[in-house]
Structure 1
Amino acid sequence: MAFQIEYWHWVVFGMLLILAELVLPSFTVFWFGLGAFLLAVLMWLQPDLSLSLQLVAWAVSSSLFALGWFKLVRPLMVDRTKAGIAREAVLGETGQVIQVPQPPRRGQMRFATPVLGDDEWEFICDEPVELGDRLMIVEISGNTLIVKKRG
């Protein structure tokens, strides 16, 4: 009696690989589990595939899933907001005045890309500013930016 791999073997193997991802911090084993699920569907549709063809199909599909993740999807998910970055990383960022300071109220400026999690900030500037002026961050004081006119 010869052992034959059935579609549900690939389902169980895929589940084990995806569960292994819980203890491995790489997020790569998941794609091999997904490849096993795809092969389970293929085996369900075509149950007489040879073992060598099954292994090749699993390796190719898993590699394509992983490649697709790392080359296509993951780059789209990069956080470009500078949130959580050290204060020094935002020094030199420029924004535009959207509200001129009028004592006792501080001015407001807006950034194209959020700075430290927000795209609008109160600011203090030693020079007079007008609506639409471009300002550069030179220091951060609590919830207020210290800025100067961009030269």
Structure 2
Amino acid sequence: MEFAIQYWHWIVFGMVLILAELVVPSFTIFWFGLGAFVIATLLALSIDLSLGWQLLIWALSSMAFTLLWFRLFRPLMVDRTKAGIAREAIRGESGQVIKAPEENQRGIVRFSTPLMGDDEWEFICADPVHLGDRVFVLELSGNTLIVEKR
């Protein structure tokens, strides 16, 4: 009695690997599961492959999926808003004054790239600033930025 791996074995193996991603949240095991689906597809199309070729194609397709994810697709999904990043990350960012501070009222500065989820912030500045001036973030104090004019 000779045992031959069938296409459905690879489907089950692929599902197990993809489900394992729920336990190990590294988002790498998923691609090995997709590689198993590639072999299942080839075997379902009645392409006769020895076990050695199946393992080689599985390894190569898994590596290809992993490289495509980490080199091409993942960099496109990077959050550039800086939302949720520590205060130190916004130090030095520059914005334009869209409302100059008045007596007993803070000014408002707008940033081209949102800082911590918002593109407009109230600010305090030790130097006098006017509408349209460029200011740079020194610190965050509650919901107000402390800025300087350079």
Q: TM-score scaled to structure 2, two decimals?
A: 0.90
Query: Percent identity over the alignment?
Result: 67
Aligned to 1:137: 137
> Alpha-carbon deviation of 1:53?
1.5
Where does structure 2 lack aligned partners over 5 or more consecutive residues? none
**Further displaced range: 38-47 or 101-110:** 101-110
Asked if residue 89 in structure 1 is aligned to residue 89 in structure 2, the reply is: yes
Map Cα deviations across residues 24-53 of structure 1 (whole Å, 9 max, x no partner): 232111100011012111111124222222
Aligned to 1:68: 68
**Further displaced range: 106-115 or 4-13:** 106-115
> Alpha-carbon deviation of 1:23?
1.6
Q: Within 1, Cα distance between the matches of 2:64 and 2:5? A: 23
Following superposition, which runs of at least 4 residues in structure 1 exceed 4 angstroms of deviation? none
User: What does 1:39-58 correspond to in 2, within 5 Å?
Assistant: 39-58=39-58
AA in 2 matched with 1:111: F
AA in 2 matched with 1:125: C
Q: Within 2, Cα distance between the matches of 1:142 and 1:30? A: 41
Q: Within 1, Cα distance between the matches of 2:116 and 2:55? A: 48
AA in 2 matched with 1:113: T
Q: 8 Å contact 1:11–1:36 — kept in the other structure?
A: yes
Q: Within 1, Cα distance between the matches of 2:69 and 2:78? A: 13
Aligned to 2:116: 116
AA in 1 matched with 2:62: S
Give the superposed CA RMSD: 1.6
Please state whether the residue corresponding to 1:22 is helix, strand or coil: helix
Please state whether the residue corresponding to 2:35 is helix, strand or coil: helix
Q: Within 1, Cα distance between the matches of 2:42 and 2:104? A: 70
Q: Within 2, Cα distance between the matches of 1:63 and 1:88? A: 37
Q: Within 2, Cα distance between the matches of 1:115 and 1:144? A: 12
Where does structure 1 lack aligned partners over 5 or more consecutive residues? none
Q: Within 2, Cα distance between the matches of 1:12 and 1:58? A: 14
**Further displaced range: 47-56 or 67-76:** 47-56
AA in 2 matched with 1:117: G
Q: Within 1, Cα distance between the matches of 2:128 and 2:33? A: 61
Q: Within 2, Cα distance between the matches of 1:114 and 1:127? A: 24
